A and B are shown apart, each in its own frame.
Chain A
Amino acid sequence: MCAAPAAPSARSWDADPILVVDHLSMRFGGLIAVNDVSFRAGRGDVTAVIGPNGAGKTTVFNCITGFYKPSAGRLAMNHGGPVSATELTAVTAAGEAWARTAKGAVYLLERLPDHKVASWARVARTFQNIRLFSGMTVLENLLVAQHMSLSDAGLLSPAALIGLPSWRRKQKVAVERAVYWLEKTHLVHRADDPAGDLAYGDQRRLEIARAMCTEPVLLCLDEPAAGLNPRESAALNALLLSIRAEHATSVLLIEHDMSVVMEISDHVVVLEYGGKIADGTPDEVRHDPRVIASYLGVDDEEEAVAEAKATKALSAEANP
Chain B
Amino acid sequence: MEIFVQQLINGLTLGSIYGLIAIGYTMVFGIIGMVNFAHGDVFMVSAFTGLICILLLTTVLGMSSIFLILAITLVVAMIFTGLVSWTIERVAYRPLRGSFRLAPMISAIGMSIFLSNFVQVAQGPRNKPIPPMVTDVIVLMERDGYQVTLAYKQVIIMAVTAGLLVVFWWLVQKTSLGRAQRACEQDRKMAALLGVNVDRTISLTFVIGAALAAVAGVMYLMYYGVVNFADGFVPGVKAFTAAVLGGIGSLPGAVLGGLLIGLIETFWSAYFSIEYKDVAAFSILVVVLIFMPQGLLGRPEVEKV
Contact = CB atoms under 8 A, between A and B. Distances in A.
Chain B binds chain A: yes
B99 to A, nearest CB: 15
Interface of chain B, main secondary structure? loop
A127 interface: yes
Interface of chain A, main secondary structure? loop
Interface string A27-66: 0000000000000000000000000000000100010000
A127 B304 CA distance: 11
A7 to B, nearest CB: 30
Interface string B270-305: 000000000000000000000000000000000101
Nearest to A127: B305
Interface residues of A, number: 5
Task: Give the interface size bracket for B toward A.
Answer: under 10
B241 to A, nearest CB: 30
A127 B303 CA distance: 14
Contacts of B303: 67
B172 to A, nearest CB: 26
Contacts of A68: 305
Nearest to B302: A28
A91 B220 CA distance: 64
Nearest to A65: B305
A283 to B, nearest CB: 33
Contacts of B305: 58, 62, 67-68, 127
A62 B303 CA distance: 11
A139 B187 CA distance: 35
A20 to B, nearest CB: 23
Nearest to A129: B304
A31 to B, nearest CB: 12
A62 to B, nearest CB: 5
A176 B305 CA distance: 30
B301 to A, nearest CB: 14
Nearest to A128: B305
A64 to B, nearest CB: 12
Contacts of A58: 305
Nearest to A58: B305
Nearest to B303: A67
Interface string A124-164: 00010000000000000000000000000000000000000
Interface of A: 58, 62, 67-68, 127
6 contacts: A58-B305, A62-B305, A67-B303, A67-B305, A68-B305, A127-B305
Interface pairs A-B: 4 shortest CB-CB: A67-B305, A62-B305, A127-B305, A58-B305
